[in-house]
Amino acid sequence: MTEPDPTEPDRTEPDRTESDRTESDPAGSTPVDLHFTEHGPADGPTVLLSGSLGSNLDMWDPQAEPLAAAGFRVVRLDHRGHGKSPVPPGPYRLADLAGDATALLDRLGVRRAHWVGLSLGGMVGMWLAAHRPDRVATLALCCTSTAPGPPEGWLDRAATVRAEGTVAIADAAVARWFTPGWRAANPDRTAHHRAMIAATPAEGYASCCTAIATMRLTGVLPRITAPTLVLSGAEDPATPPDHGERIARAVPGAALEVVPGAAHLGNVEQPGRFTAALLHHLEGNP
């Protein structure tokens, strides 16, 4: 299997060519009813936490209670094809995942939410903030990218998962999620997150790989008007800090913070630093 190369230069993406017209079209497929949990006061400002490829909403355990204690209504979701959410047949597009999230906000009676997205969740957040700015109050983009390696690598990974299941990529994925030192010091938590990846339905994981392979985001970043924080892990091999730097340069007024000692799931590996940065961002942009 060819792994996506995180050092691949960012793709140049035309604003509206034939090749990216489908992803630029804000109409997605029929939304699915996402699995979600809520924490905090029902009348508080809503913060929607959207996670990584191969994760479920448990990845946000370090942030859920602190954000709720600060007065936010915290909504964690499982992407389609992940966790306890439905697994419709693929392939998926970012427009589909964004449509699921806006449908969830509609179910909850929420007009606008603070979006916190990590990795795939950040990609969905960028798409949503560019195409549906009326639904995004603020945007936090954590350990994410507009071009995390060549599309062929993602399509190869999708083919591997469809043939062999997510267990085939679980070890490599968890090695990207956490630094070697953290994995050695936290074997039980590492095993928990590896099991999370291995339990992700193959169709959901592979179809989201296709969404990443076909996404076109660079050209729409200047449209984003929501106050934006970009958080990168200093030791993230999947979406290195220079990927976050490119996003921060392209989004008007975006702030950038690089978290030391954090790999791809920086919110888990460095929860104190990540949560403090999120609270500063959220409370500074009510």
List, for residues 67-100, the tens digit of each pLDDT value.
999 999 999 999 999 999 999 999 999 999 999 9
Left (φ > 0), alpha (ψ -120 to 50) or beta: where does 143 sit? left
Q: Average of pLDDT values for 253-278?
A: 98
Q: What is the tens place of the pLDDT at every residue in 198-217?
A: 999 999 999 999 999 999 99
The structure tokens 């999120």 sit at 278
How confident is the model at residue 90, as a pLDDT? 95
Rounded Cα distance between 220 and 94, Å, is 13
Topology (CATH level 3) of domain 26-284:
Rossmann fold (3.40.50)
Q: Average of pLDDT values for 258-276?
A: 98
Question: What single-letter DSSP state applies at residue 119?
Answer: T
8 A C-beta contact, residue 166 and residue 160? no
Query: Can you give the length of the chain in residues?
Result: 286
How confident is the model at residue 286, as a pLDDT? 80
Burial of 150 (0-12, 13-18, 19+ CB in 10 A): middle
How confident is the model at residue 255, as a pLDDT? 98
* pTM recorded for the entire structure: 0.91
Phi, psi of 182 (to 5 degrees): -65, -40
8 A C-beta contact, residue 70 and residue 98? no
Q: Is the pLDDT of residue 226 over 70?
A: yes
How confident is the model at residue 156, as a pLDDT? 98
